[in-house]
Structure 1
Amino acid sequence: MSAAELSEDRIERETTRRAHRFGSWASTATRHSPWEDALGVIAGVTLTAVGISILGSLGFLTGGMAGLAFVVHYLTGWNFGLVFFIANLPFYALAIGRMGRAFTIKTAFAVALLSVMTAFSPDVLRFAYVDPLLGACLGGLMLGFGLLALFRHRSSAGGIGILAVYLQDRFGWRAGLTQLCVDLVVLVTAFAAVSPAAVAYSVLGALVLNLFLAINHRTDRYLAV
């Protein structure tokens, strides 16, 4: 075997070793590189944080773990980012057991970054006036764009997002429709924290979010993961 062949063989073995160790961190023609994943996750988290800030400024909420964090925040005054971070901790067991190490690492990073951004967003991002109808739709749309970016980089915003991605991969269920069903249940509990009008606007925002995901997040239309 020539020196060139030996070198190629070593490279192939090293690539295989890293793929085995880090799962989907390995880069191929249909797989994002770690650098692309990092940028995609940061962009997705930023869009998600802006959507949460819009909803929070209006006293609205959304579904999933973010909705639960909103309810606790409104009822107790505890910091949204801290509540969101703690509420997501139990779901990492599902993530690492079902979705792999790479997905769990990227999701943990996304959740931590989103928790920090939302914890400090009231100090750096304020809205003087936002029409409630526009705010509900725009907040839901921003969350949809953010979650779509995370899903396409094999990550999520934690909680129900982990469950939705797992169910789509395992059974082919649309992630957006799965989240919609869970979100409606979560929003029912919102009546204890906000007014019926705020709940109605929150439901509208959740519909915009999940319909956007149901239309755009399809594995048969997007090969790179």
Structure 2
Amino acid sequence: MADETIARKRLRGFGNWQATATRHTPLEDAQGLFTGTVLTALGIAILAHLGFLTGGTAGLAFILHYATGVNFGLLFFVVNLPFYFLAIRRMGLAFTVKTFIAVALLSLLTAVQPALFAFGTVDRTTGAVLGGLLMGFGLLALFRHRTSLGGVGILALYLQDRFRWRAGITQLAIDLSVLALSFTVADPTSIAFSILGVVVLNLFLAINHRADRYIAM
């Protein structure tokens, strides 16, 4: 009985570095940020392999990448710079710093990904759905640790905090607007598959990311 009590205490204390029901520890934030960014980078790699796009600042970076040939990671980092002003004014310093780290890490991962692994044949429908789901999982992990991948993510989280608008629905509307610009660099078939990926991503977020169900900071 004594051994069981000790075991329970150890289990409760494992990883509990001043954590509470509503606040993550620095270690929890670090693993959430890293995992979310890696999953998102993998989803982006699948989309890029198929010549697809996505929405938000990543979509803008894709458009510029296809139009100019400049590295996607560098463009993604630069496109996000103007949004940090809104982040630090509306979301706080901690959110802004974590977001900057996540954006920088994603930029690095997408830049080195071709040297780390490559894809073979990927069915286009499967790639669009899988890419959208991976990015959705990644963004969900980041959102739940009070960070984002900049740009539209910052705006969507701000609007959810301010007006209780679902982050996924807000992001879907903006993403579809960004995809409308992609007709300048991609063919209609690729854009159609890109829209499929965006819808999968944002419906996943709309269903799973709700402030009234997850309150940890």
TM-score by length of 2: 0.91
1:180 aligns with 2:181: no
Distance 2:19 2:186 in 1: 46
**Match in the other structure for 1:120:** 112
1:166 aligns with 2:166: no
AA partner of residue 145 (structure 1): F
**Match in the other structure for 2:10:** none
**Match in the other structure for 1:131:** 123
Is the CA contact (8 Å cut-off) linking 1:27 and 1:34 kept in structure 2? no
AA partner of residue 54 (structure 2): T
**Match in the other structure for 1:152:** 144
Give secondary structure in 1 for the equivalent of 2:53.
coil
Percent sequence identity is 65
Identify unmatched segments of 5+ residues in structure 1. 1-25
**Match in the other structure for 2:184:** 192
TM-score by length of 1: 0.87
Q: Give the superposition deviation at 1:223.
A: 1.8
**Match in the other structure for 2:75:** 83
Distance 2:213 2:25 in 1: 19
Q: Give the superposition deviation at 1:125.
A: 2.2
Distance 2:98 2:20 in 1: 18
Distance 1:152 1:46 in 2: 15
Distance 1:119 1:27 in 2: 35
Q: Give the superposition deviation at 1:27.
A: 4.8
**1:214 aligned residue (202, 206, 215):** 206
Identify unmatched segments of 5+ residues in structure 2. 1-17
How many corresponding residue pairs? Answer: 200
Distance 2:120 2:27 in 1: 37
Distance 2:79 2:112 in 1: 18
